[in-house]
Copies of this chain bind each other. A is one copy, B any other.
Amino acid sequence: MFTLPQKDFSAPTTCLGPTCMQDLGSSHGDDLEGECSRKLDQKLPELPGVGDPAMLSSDTSYLSSRGRMIKWFWDSAEEGYRTYHMDEYDENKNPSGIINLGVSENKLCFDLLSWRLSQSDIQRVEPSLLQYADWRGHLFLREEVAKFLSFYCKSPAPLRPENVVVLNGGASLFSALATVLCEAGEAFLIPTPYYGAITQHVCLYGNVRLAYVYLDSEVTGLDTRPFQLTVEKLETALREAHSEGVKVKGLILINPQNPLGDIYSPEELQEYLVFAKRHKLHVIVDEVYMLSVFEESFGYRSVLSLERLPDPQRTHVMWATSKDFGMSGLRFGTLYTENQDVATAVASLCRYHGLSGLVQYQMAQLLRDRDWINQVYLPENHARLKAAHTYVSEELRALGIPFLSRGAGFFIWVDLRKYLPKGTFEEEMLLWRRFLDNKVLLSFGKAFECKEPGWFRFVFSDQAHRLCLGMQRVRQVLAGKSQVAEDPPPSQSQEPSDQRR
């Protein structure tokens, strides 16, 4: 699970090895995983066009060893990012530019959001908002967050403001939680494929690692669907980590899942939580897509809706406006935990993750506007997501390409394995590059630590004309590539309609 090619990162607090050296974020966005992934492992030199790992030992003598590692995460993102941002698609100014289906942002509702955020009730400037405030967040905001989560998470009892800590986004929350829950070098379990940027979020400051629970597409044993997480797989991964001397302190669950677009049933959630309790593991439940479930019949349930949490003192929930309100640039996230030690420790770090008092006021006004959210924003957002999803999934179906996507999130997890002659990650990267060369940016599976080469994440939450052009460019690349695999792999085409559990 963990190999630690030390390179010159000799400081004890430096995060090492593939688990953290992969570049899963980017210098210009929280979610540009795929297009910029660079692996620093044995295979790296074999990958064409990938940066020289020797750069890590080069003499950037102004930085500490951890500073070099932190800089490496940025630099390694640059090539892919630069390619995209030097040639961004714009329907008027640069119609032959790159279409971005790689970054998980919802670009469908800026009209609604711009209108709402421009209303006069949102803007207020008063002295208390310009002064130092409680680092947990202004009380008026934490009260609104508690009410908001109570309502939308359908909590059995009202959630409490004292369990809320607000900060500038989910990335910061991962960083803070990793630091206060784990010693340096300890780990969180995480099922793969997963939103890869978490690797750096727990590592860059906290020097915490991830121990993978590898899932695969094959439906075996008692599984009912591909990439299914089970307690058995959790137990196995935990044992393996221990046998390698890695101390596991917690489990990270992303629900709705990224990149699978899947959800955990309440029964499954309960099982995972009981597993965690048995091993005294913290559970971080990332519900950052909880309101982006666009298939109503899908039956999503927040962990906060459970009648009784098995281990409430070790269950920590995160939510943010980045995805559900399509405002990743606004930088607003929140922790909900009953554990006051954890809330306090995170709050103590919030002096480094604070958000403007003016933004806190805006968010409180937005979140309290239940009428607009329920009657305008969510119905329209879900309808637009569903239409975009339908378009891309039908395109894929027409191409005979298997995919997974059950009605949540902004992405479809696409199985392009038949387009890789030998089924290697090198070929996956080559295919990704061909897409980029043909002016469409996608995310490849390795960036999500998918163990099967050939999976890609397609983000569909964009305007129709861009989606259309993007899919056209995808088709061109795939058409130019002969299908070498005689027998398609066993993954099924899975759509909302036939993916109910």
Contact = CB atoms under 8 A, between A and B. Distances in A.
Interface of A: 11-13, 25, 27-32, 60, 62-68, 70-71, 73-75, 103, 105, 107, 110, 113-114, 117-118, 123, 125-136, 168-169, 171-172, 175, 179-184, 186, 200-201, 204-205, 207, 249, 282, 313-314, 326-332, 339, 341-342, 344-345, 347-349, 351-359, 362
Given A132-B329, A205-B352, 7 more contacts: A62-B282, A63-B345, A64-B186, A67-B179, A113-B125, A171-B354, A352-B353
A29 B136 CA distance: 11
B356 A355 contact: yes
Nearest to A25: B351
A312 to B, nearest CB: 11
Given A31-B132, A348-B27, A181 B67 contact: yes
A375 to B, nearest CB: 21
Given A62-B339, A125-B118, A359-B358, A70 B180 contact: yes
Given A113-B130, A354-B331, A357-B329, A60 B341 contact: yes
A306 to B, nearest CB: 20
A355 B105 contact: no
Given A71-B180, A103-B132, A205-B349, A356 B331 contact: yes
Contacts of A27: 134-136, 347-348
A351 B67 CA distance: 15
B179 A354 contact: no
Given A70-B348, A349-B205, A352-B352, A125 B117 contact: yes
A175 B136 CA distance: 18
A126 B330 CA distance: 11
Contacts of A326: 130
Contact of A352 (B28, B130, B175): B175
Contacts of A329: 128-133, 356-357
Contacts of A345: 63, 67-68, 70-71, 74
Contact of A110 (B75, B117, B127, B171): B127
6 contacts: A31-B132, A64-B181, A107-B127, A132-B328, A172-B352, A355-B356
